[in-house]
A and B are shown apart, each in its own frame.
Chain A
């Protein structure tokens, strides 16, 4: 197998990634690699820099210094700063996905569920209504939303349904890389479990790489292969998820692990 195109080549690489807000540090000197098919969790308390990091990686925010490279479908690693805005936006609606904590931010609330799921298909030039609709129906089924809700808009959906709709909307183009920002935040515990289960199986079916930001160590343990612990903008510990959570080395990670109930 050609190592440059296979599973053993990273999909996204960040080097020395730093973002300053004036003199305040958003995140500092972060290094990471994400490989196809793996889930990387970024954990930390609010203000730890994990959300800043996600914004940088998804190119919503420009870094103060450092670089991010992405391996395209052609196998070539390119600096994201060299992408035009048009190319970056195309990435974001085809090869990438972004699942936000508040589905209201990630959905078009006045557009039907089918339209929300179909949008990315239409954005890449699909022009057959029947095909778009049947694909939307299929994806609603995969996120356990009844087919007869396809013409309802998400304002009539529960929080858990909205989040599942947002996931379908993002995964419909079979992205290679999905960013998730506290995807289960604000949901009831029972709803969370169902959503996590769903995310895990869908992501594994698609073979997508996922970078998930969460403050919830249980979420990180359930979903992720690897974990990065952030504090004050820096990564203080990273490694295998179960190793970092079961045998934390850094004092702060020990404190985090000790602070939750049986993560």
Chain B
């Protein structure tokens, strides 16, 4: 019996044939903005729901000189983000960062970074359910036909139901958008607060759904409009107070419970954004200034 060879992975785990297949799907998705392109999703060494779709898209576009950032709920430090980051460190050996501005590829779950993205960046979304029409029409054959015919009255039925039940559009995340005036798309479970960031973004935005085997895309500088009614226009969440740590306004805040007596504070959900501001000397009401040397530390 011969000696067991050392286990080595192909660059970024997936074999080159699979990557080519995924790239073809990505190219098609870019060519037809908002359209869900089927692809042959592979088994990944992580369970569905952990971002297998986003991971495959990232694996297919990653080059050796890319710098990768992975966030989950705006944070680089959650289990999911750490696991995916180390997965690519191990299989591709690429540089990683937590600094939004330094990254060339950003894989995300549930958020879009607060800082505006540039034309040298790609944002990869992890998508659990890519079909925005599924809520009202469970048949895949029918939803595909509705997309094909741009027959989107159903989406407004969903919003109508929201208003009739709650007095306003209560959908706060995975808020449907119309892409380039044609396809209606589920932006993945990001807060609707982030929807305006998709519009005319300089960065390429790719969406991967592993379990459902769909890839879709928003090319750079594409019009993305959140669906609404004339008398109930789309609005983003507003926060009464600025970030308690960095004092930022107009950003998405997370609630943090401080004690068991009802004490709480609201802080930036985008941790890198918050740290960068604090490094620049911004201080919120409960915050302390961070020495700039500590800000933007490499999470690796």
Direct contact between the two chains A and B in their complex (CB within 8 A): yes
A122 within 8 A of B: yes
Per-residue interface assignment for chain B, residues 146 to 177, with 1 indicating a CB less than 8 Å from any chain A CB and 0 otherwise: 00011111101100110111000000000000
B232 within 8 A of A: yes
- The bracket for how many chain A residues form the interface is 20 to 34
Q: Of the listed stretches A123-131, A195-203, A231-239, name the one at the interface; the rest are far from the partner chain.
A: A123-131
Give the contacting residue for A122; candidates B145, B149, B153; CB below 8 A. B153
CB of A112 within 8 A of CB of B164, answer yes
B136 within 8 A of A: yes
Give the contacting residue for B156; candidates A86, A108, A122; CB below 8 A. A122
Give the contacting residue for B136; candidates A108, A114, A132, A151; CB below 8 A. A108
Which of A112, A115, A123 has the most B CB atoms < 10 Å from its CB?
A115
B65 within 8 A of A: no
Please give me the residue from chain B that is nearest to A110 by CB atom.
B136
B3 within 8 A of A: no
Number of residues from B at the complex interface, CB < 8 A: 20
CB of B231 within 8 A of CB of A128, answer yes
- Chain B residues lying within 8 Å of A112, measured Cβ to Cβ, are 161, 164-165
CB of A151 within 8 A of CB of B165, answer yes
CB of B153 within 8 A of CB of A114, answer no
Give the contacting residue for A115; candidates B149, B152, B164, B230; CB below 8 A. B164
Give the contacting residue for B153; candidates A86, A93, A110, A130; CB below 8 A. A93
B239 within 8 A of A: no
Which of B149, B153, B231 has the most A CB atoms < 10 Å from its CB?
B153
CB of A86 within 8 A of CB of B161, answer no
Shortest B234–chain A CB gap in Å is 12
- Chain A residues lying within 8 Å of B48, measured Cβ to Cβ, are none
Shortest B216–chain A CB gap in Å is 21
A256 within 8 A of B: no
- Chain A residues lying within 8 Å of B150, measured Cβ to Cβ, are 86
A104 within 8 A of B: no
A111 vs B154: C-alpha distance when bound (angstroms): 10
Q: A89-B149, A111-B136, A123-B151 are in contact. Are A129 and B157 (CB under 8 A)?
A: no
B229 within 8 A of A: yes
Q: A118-B157, A127-B229, A128-B231 are in contact. Are A85 and B164 (CB under 8 A)?
A: no
Please give me the residue from chain B that is nearest to A124 by CB atom.
B153
Shortest B133–chain A CB gap in Å is 12
A71 vs B151: C-alpha distance when bound (angstroms): 23
Per-residue interface assignment for chain B, residues 221 to 248, with 1 indicating a CB less than 8 Å from any chain A CB and 0 otherwise: 0000000111110000000000000000
A91 within 8 A of B: no
A222 vs B246: C-alpha distance when bound (angstroms): 75
Q: A89-B151, A111-B136 are in contact. Are A127 and B161 (CB under 8 A)?
A: no
- Chain A residues lying within 8 Å of B228, measured Cβ to Cβ, are 127
Shortest A114–chain B CB gap in Å is 6
CB of B231 within 8 A of CB of A118, answer no
- Chain A residues lying within 8 Å of B152, measured Cβ to Cβ, are 123
- Chain B residues lying within 8 Å of A122, measured Cβ to Cβ, are 153, 156-157, 160
CB of A129 within 8 A of CB of B231, answer yes
- Chain A residues lying within 8 Å of B136, measured Cβ to Cβ, are 108, 110-111
Please give me the residue from chain A that is nearest to B150 by CB atom.
A86
CB of A150 within 8 A of CB of B164, answer yes
A133 vs B231: C-alpha distance when bound (angstroms): 12
Q: A86-B149, A119-B157, A122-B153 are in contact. Are A114 and B164 (CB under 8 A)?
A: yes
A115 vs B136: C-alpha distance when bound (angstroms): 11
CB of B160 within 8 A of CB of A114, answer yes
A214 vs B163: C-alpha distance when bound (angstroms): 39
Q: A112-B161, A119-B154, A119-B157 are in contact. Are A128 and B149 (CB under 8 A)?
A: no
Shortest B56–chain A CB gap in Å is 33
A120 within 8 A of B: yes
A86 vs B147: C-alpha distance when bound (angstroms): 11
A130 vs B232: C-alpha distance when bound (angstroms): 9
A110 vs B151: C-alpha distance when bound (angstroms): 20
CB of A118 within 8 A of CB of B160, answer yes
- Docked complex: A198-254 residues within 8 A CB-CB of B: none
- Docked complex: A65-122 residues within 8 A CB-CB of B: 85-86, 89, 93, 108, 110-112, 114-115, 118-120, 122
Please give me the residue from chain A that is nearest to B228 by CB atom.
A127
Shortest A95–chain B CB gap in Å is 15
Residue contacts A-B, CB under 8 angstroms, 8 given: A86-B149, A112-B164, A122-B153, A124-B153, A128-B230, A129-B163, A133-B160, A151-B164
Q: What 10 pairs between A and B have smallest CB-CB spacing? A: A123-B153, A122-B156, A129-B229, A122-B153, A86-B149, A128-B230, A151-B164, A115-B157, A130-B231, A119-B157
4 more A-B contacts (CB under 8 A) besides A115-B161, A123-B154, A129-B232?
Answer: A110-B136, A118-B157, A128-B229, A129-B231
